[in-house]
Structure 1
Amino acid sequence: MDPILVLTQALNGLQLGVMLFLMAAGLTLVFGIMGLVNLAHGSLYMAGAYAMATAFAWTGSFLAGIGAALAAAALVGAVLEVAALRRLYDRDHLDQVLATFGLILFFNELARLIWGPAALFVTVPAALSGTVEILPGAPYPAYRLAVIGIGIAVAAGLYLLIARTRLGMLIRAGASNRIMVAALGVDIRLLYTLVFALGAALAALAGAVAAPILSVEPGMGEPVLILTLVVIVVGGIGSIRGAFVAALLIGFVDTMGRAFLPALLREVAAPATANAVGPALASMLIYLTMAIVLAVRPQGLFAARTG
């Protein structure tokens, strides 16, 4: 097996992992503090990608696209929380699932109405369009390395926010006992709105950095939402630390499985059988990983709501 190919796919897995963390961090914050199952989180990822594509087309600036994605998603998230989701906090999870699933359909149709059904494409910024030779004879796209750096920087910043700031203290307290926090005079509604806007901005950042790699189209948030839910379950519901570790694990397993499992099967089975079965087994690896983790640790890799 070519070691350069293995290294390249490992970096691809790391890149996927940090993008999944951006999604999972926001969703686990919302669920851990508000107890809200928000299936529309993938729609905020899509909104970030569309905001990036639109701002980049207007300005030609990648940074302007990132800023537009963050601002638009934070605003949409805050309005969505105040106008619709606030009424669901005291409802059971089935009501939350049905309501937020309806929001998925709404946002998908809204995207088709505004931008049309055709996919949009965002070019990689010129400064990051080349490759970096990480090892002799092993070039790797500079943009993907930048995505990895952005994800790690956001993870560090989120840790500092949660662990070292007053807002982080309120977030952790709200996750532990929101009734007591409200009784102490904290505006819990404002806290919820801020947390939801933060989660929306993180999802939009994932969508914005994914836009030059993937096509921007209606419904693009649903596949990544499934992976995100797997990450949250594996890491431990409500745990930011668990979301980070699980995102890297799932990204690595998914990428390496899709890259190498069909080839490995061809060593022990007929090529036609391997080519037919390999991709299906590769797509199942993340769910097998989730099953193994839950069999050993039913609460996930880290205890729920440990941050």
Structure 2
Amino acid sequence: MQTALLIEQILNGLQFGVMLFLMAAGLTLIFGVMGLINLAHGSLYMVGAFACAAVAAATGSFWLGLAASLVAAAAAGAIIEVSVIRRLYDRDHLDQVLATFALILIFSEGTRWIFGSFPLYLDIPPLLRGAVPLPGGSAYPAYRLAIIAVGIAVAIGLYLLISRTRLGMRIRAGESDREMIAALGVDIRTLYTVVFALGAALAGLAGALVGALQSVQVGMGEPVLILAFVVIVIGGIGSIKGALVGAVLVGLIDTLGRFLLPMALAGFMDASSAAGIGAALASMLIYVFMALVLAIRPQGLFSAQR
């Protein structure tokens, strides 16, 4: 049974990790290409979750809701890039932080005004409601496995986009020398809008997928945003590969820490104390790991070109 539980927790860590990757991939693209600190990225995650829940409730189709989450988050990202973010590229990071923090408040109050203060709930689609048998006799929810598969597919798609397409070539060039590609005739404003909308769509997808596992509520994106920043610091700012590796590491460290530390502490304290202290230590492990990575490789595990 312990082996089955360990396998289940590893899969939980992978599922948590790929969800963080969907958030962190868009964030690291935006930061790497534009040099922009976007605190409103978590709000786009929330927009995707609410759009999916609202459309799924209206139509009865989770898949239409999932498509709506991509469209809504990408559209919201494009609108705020054109109307607000575009004015911040040449400003210092403090101005960017203040402006995007204001966007968090605007999105939160706007969402509360539209949907109310009560959480929404999103049902898992019937196709993915079953469970898949695991070694050891236990079973694992098919929906969580589907999230892992989506994360892997997105990672492959982003790799191909960045390394094999003309848009990817422009994105890589924008990371290295934005003035040069502008001088070569590339419409840098359009490129920035596309990159921002792509990052927003990935955040919206993450919100929609997680919305079926927890309630959809105002403010749900901020805790995830903090972990997404941790991921891109560990993986290397601007690196999609780094975002994937960092997200999986963070997901496994957090999940396995919450599983293994209480068991280890239960040997010399009561079960309730061991559970509480173990959970607290597991949360700290992520930041300890980030500090170790920064001490050894201040640029992160991977450079922006990898």
TM-score range, shorter chain: over 0.9
Q: 1:276: how far off?
A: 3.8
Q: 1:273: how far off?
A: 4.1
Aligned counterparts of 1:132 and 1:52: Cα–Cα separation in 2: 25
Q: Does 1:99 align with 2:70?
A: no
Partner of 1:201: 201
Partner of 1:240: 240
TM-score, reference length from structure 2: 0.98
CA contact (8 A) 2:4 2:136 kept: no
CA contact (8 A) 2:231 2:246 kept: yes
Aligned counterparts of 1:79 and 1:4: Cα–Cα separation in 2: 47
Q: Does 1:306 align with 2:295?
A: no
Partner of 2:284: 284
CA contact (8 A) 2:44 2:200 kept: yes
Q: Does 1:231 align with 2:231?
A: yes
Partner of 1:120: 120
Q: Using a 3 Å threshold, how does the CA distance of structure 1 residues 133 and 276 change in structure 2: closer, same or farther?
A: closer
Partner of 2:145: 145
SS at match of 1:140: strand
Deviating more after overlay: 1-10 vs 263-272: 263-272
CA contact (8 A) 2:62 2:123 kept: no
Q: Which AA in structure 1 matches 2:110? A: L
Aligned counterparts of 1:291 and 1:241: Cα–Cα separation in 2: 20
Identical positions, percent? 64
SS at match of 1:91: coil
Partner of 2:69: 69
Q: Using a 3 Å threshold, how does the CA distance of structure 1 residues 275 and 8 change in structure 2: closer, same or farther?
A: closer
Q: 1:275: how far off?
A: 3.6
Partner of 1:21: 21
Q: Which AA in structure 2 matches 1:289? A: F
Q: Which AA in structure 2 matches 1:249? A: L
Partner of 1:213: 213
Q: 1:158: how far off?
A: 0.5
Q: Which AA in structure 1 matches 2:85? A: L
Q: Which AA in structure 2 matches 1:94? A: L
Aligned counterparts of 2:222 and 2:187: Cα–Cα separation in 1: 33
SS at match of 2:132: strand
Q: Does 1:109 align with 2:109?
A: yes
Unaligned runs of 5+ in 1: none
TM-score, reference length from structure 1: 0.97
Aligned counterparts of 1:292 and 1:148: Cα–Cα separation in 2: 27
Aligned counterparts of 2:275 and 2:81: Cα–Cα separation in 1: 46
Q: Which AA in structure 2 matches 1:225? A: L
Q: Which AA in structure 2 matches 1:104? A: I
Partner of 1:50: 50
Q: Which AA in structure 1 matches 2:305? A: T
Aligned counterparts of 2:258 and 2:218: Cα–Cα separation in 1: 25
Deviations 1:12-56 (A, max 9, x none): 000011110000000000000000000000000000000000110
Deviating more after overlay: 26-35 vs 293-302: 293-302
Aligned counterparts of 1:298 and 1:269: Cα–Cα separation in 2: 38
How many pairs does the alignment contain? Answer: 306
Q: 1:111: how far off?
A: 1.0
Q: Using a 3 Å threshold, how does the CA distance of structure 1 residues 48 and 267 change in structure 2: closer, same or farther?
A: same
Partner of 2:129: 129
Aligned counterparts of 1:255 and 1:195: Cα–Cα separation in 2: 31
Q: 1:102: how far off?
A: 0.8
Unaligned runs of 5+ in 2: none
Q: 1:59: how far off?
A: 1.0
CA contact (8 A) 2:3 2:136 kept: no
Q: 1:279: how far off?
A: 1.9
Aligned counterparts of 1:57 and 1:292: Cα–Cα separation in 2: 45
Q: CA RMSD in A?
A: 1.1
SS at match of 2:124: coil
Q: Which AA in structure 2 matches 1:198? A: L
SS at match of 1:135: coil
